[in-house]
Structure 1
Amino acid sequence: MSEVQQLPRLNELAPDFEANTTQGKLKLSDFHGKWVVLFSHPADFTPVCSTEFGSFASKAEEFAKRNVQLIGLSVDGVQAHLAWIRDIEEVFLHKVTFPVIADLDMKVSSLYGMIHPGASSTAAVRSVFIMDDKGIMRAMIYYPMNAGRNISEIIRVIDALQTADQYGVSTPADWTPGQEVVVAPPAQQGAIKTQEEEEAQGYEYKRWYLRFKNL
């Protein structure tokens, strides 16, 4: 019986790989010290994927400000990628500055669970993997073939993760930078305080387990 491939899991080291790209060979481990967004698309020269690549390219500086390396992927070859990138740059007027993996043998796609036979047995679904600067998998998002991604939401998730790391807090639903964050609830009964005590410490008190504060 063949060994079952262990797919990436949150808060574990992301699987390393080496792959051919539009910028030569790369290893995921080459980017240690940077956050990485690895995203796949079903195929080159397709309409939804083209809009996504145009959006990623237009927001490349925003990712760079957050110390994020973008890496694209599909099962097409390097030559197809290069020709498609030229089209994207002409249509959307933004340079594609990040590498795009040519995953013809589907090794990376299989390693990261991007091939979903129910959607397609020969193309990678729209998936996003966010790794931190230590190579730890922090978020995974999958989309269907016919729904384009919201690139601003990917940036928002990175902001939330980096804020949580820096301040030891969590972020509530729909949070964006500058809004209140969530304080961890007390771990012991004796640590539960009254609303007046919490507000005196600068917290916005809703319940003993739900408190907010400004950073």
Structure 2
Amino acid sequence: MSARDPNLAAGVDEATGSCLTCAKRTHLFLGPLGESRLRDLDGKRESRLRSAGTCLFRQGEEVSNVHCIDSAVLKFSRRSPGGRDTIVDTAGQGRLAGLVSIFGRGDHAYSAEVVRAGNVCTFDRATIEVLALECSQFARALYRELALELHRAASRIGLLSCSKLEPKLALLLLDLAETRDPSEPVIEDFSRRDLAQMCGVSTEALVRCLSRWKSAGVIDTDSGAIMIRDGDHLKELGRQV
């Protein structure tokens, strides 16, 4: 296990000595576990600053860990039999990575890559499974998290089924901005190609749409990143899905 990251010191609860940096944001490890289990879990936690481009796990690999995102942003990709990668989801602060595969098949259904550097807390699979068996409230919290994952997957499928680019791109940008930082509506962790892939359109079509929105003052792309200037307009477009 690696040494504790000093940057996480602010997340240590003074009463229990347990690190709550991840726990407060997922609501999984609070309440149901109690102080004793929190202390034990904290001793089994590994926290690392993950750089952009780091792969946490690959599609087809055996599931060995669950990752709780503290400050990084991840993208999840699935490779087709023909070798084409498709981004199937993204995740930011407070989300879990690898949880779905624990309760299903024994291997990962997709790959997870860091697209924005940040801290990720890691727990081994056995630790989470034992806690779920010992604490029914904790198990229910995990099931709620899985339900959210399924809801997100269904929403993404519905988004791709929309034939109009503007509504689905509008919803995608709003979702990605929320994933990164709700107080700063900027999309800078994904390339134009990534965005086009998530919308199921060509990169050229996506760039043309962004250009129209920039001219209309809906977004700004001067820095290379996408800054949302008129979120209400994007929300209105999103209702057309």
Normalising by the residue count of structure 1, what TM-score does the alignment of the two structures yield? 0.30
Largest Rg, 1 or 2: 1
